[in-house]
Amino acid sequence: MSTVEQHGPSDTDETQPNGKASNGKAQTDEAQHSVPDPGSALNAKRVQMPGYDVYLGPFTQLEAERSRLDQLEWQHFDIKRVGTTIGAEIRGVDIVNDPATEVLDEIRQALYEYKVIFFRDQPLTPEAHIRFAQHFGELETHPFLPGSDTHPELVRFEKGPDTGGYENGWHHDVTWREVPSMGAVLHALQVPASGGDTLFCDMNAAFEGLDPELKAEAESLTAVHDFLRAFRQQVEPGKEAEMREQYPAVEHPVVCTHPVTGKKLLYVNRFFTDFIVGMEAEASFAMLDRLCRQADTLEYQCRFSWEPDSVAFWDNRAVQHYAASDYFPDTRVMERASIVGTRPQ
Ligand code: SIN
């Protein structure tokens, strides 16, 4: 983020203590009581909070993408945008009973445009869930997370008083794979009385929001991703060497290019990204922490509140996600089908 000059309300406040404007004219009652907007002299520039690597002010760069999204037209369903540049609820489509090819094509297009799409009231059986996800590619099985008893392609997140949710950190799924998933279809089977939302972050917006020097530096870097960071405890005793052989630590660019949209994406996360290649440990940690923190920016995010039979379908290259773990000891049961992707470039 470029540093921009700072102004406070006192820079622009021309009112004198006697209630007269500095040009000597008496003010109306209304003017006397109005407080100047603290941003009125800033011309929509962002300003740094003194002493912190934190900025205030409008994310004007998001406007172009938001307008573009709002001009898109859809033939087979209605769309309601959820976040500024990310997320759309799709209405008027049934994904349980094999949608027609042209509907599936448009769903795929909506996924690329909005990066995560949501459906309500889709009572998917495990078979229908798998069938829907398979329209978009081959499915993965996850070596460390529990599958459903009957369908190993479905990862089951069953949370309750004995477990609690541990997916409350920003991450792309399975970046420790040489070829991480292109996307995931998550179906809500049981939702808590309150909470348990999933948040998504637009990693293209996160990349574009970096200051130019950091952008250029990030684009020159690669990072190592390793399943052991998050899943060491899930590896059966004595099986670590075998799992390591099957899933060696992998290197991915810190900034990837989306294989379909061509957009640049920040591609590091705290769950799986271990270090930046060629950097000292301290510098690598500082860089990763700075880049990972971009996902905390609310303006890049959208948030989805689940109901039973809601479905989220995310583009796992374009977004990171975070499952809010605020419902303990209530129960939350979800099943996820993940679709094989391509090697990040
Ligand atoms: C996940 O991290 O894939 C699970 C997301 C969720 O349970 O909302």
CATH number at residue 184: 3.60.130.10
pTM (2 d.p.): 0.90
Same-domain pairing of 16 and 96: no
Rounded to 5, what percent of the chain is helix, strand, coil?
25, 25, 50
Per-position pLDDT tens, the chain of length 345: 333 333 333 333 333 333 334 444 445 555 566 788 888 888 889 999 999 988 999 999 999 999 999 999 999 999 999 999 999 999 999 999 999 999 999 999 999 999 999 999 999 999 999 999 999 999 999 988 888 888 999 999 999 999 999 999 999 999 999 999 999 999 999 999 999 999 999 999 999 999 999 999 999 999 999 998 988 888 888 888 899 999 999 999 999 999 999 999 999 999 999 999 999 999 999 999 999 999 999 999 999 999 999 999 999 999 999 999 999 999 999 999 999 999 999
Q: Which amino acid is at 88?
A: A
Same-domain pairing of 44 and 76: no
**Residue that finishes a domain, picked among 58, 82, 97:** 58
Same-domain pairing of 52 and 82: no
Same-domain pairing of 24 and 90: no
Same-domain pairing of 25 and 67: no
336 is an active site residue? yes
Same-domain pairing of 90 and 107: yes
Helices (H), the chain: 9-12, 29-33, 63-71, 101-114, 126-134, 203-208, 212-219, 228-231, 240-246, 281-292
321 is an active site residue? yes
| Domain limits for position 249 | 61-345
Same-domain pairing of 15 and 125: no
CA of 157 to the centre of ligand 1 (A): 8
| Count: domains in the chain | 2
Tell which residue, 58, 149, 136, has the closest CA to residue 314.
136
Catalytic residue among 171, 172, 252, 317: 171
Same-domain pairing of 218 and 98: yes
Same-domain pairing of 294 and 150: yes
**315, 172 contact by CB (below 8 A):** no
**40, 5 contact by CB (below 8 A):** no
The residue to mutate among 167, 170, 316, 322, having the most atoms of ligand 1 within 8 angstroms of its beta carbon, is: 167
Same-domain pairing of 19 and 142: no
Same-domain pairing of 3 and 109: no
| Ligand 1 binding pocket includes 336 (Cβ within 6 Å) | yes
CA of 60 to the centre of ligand 1 (A): 30
Same-domain pairing of 37 and 110: no
Ligand 1 atom nearest 334 alpha carbon: 7
**Residue that finishes a domain, picked among 43, 58, 73:** 58
* Pairing assessment for the beta strands 116-119 and 88-91 based on DSSP bridges: parallel
Residue 335 burial (CB count, 10 A): 22
**Residue that finishes a domain, picked among 39, 58, 77:** 58
* CA distance to 212, 310, 342, per residue, from 124 (Å): 45, 9, 27
Helices (H), 1-97: 9-12, 29-33, 63-71
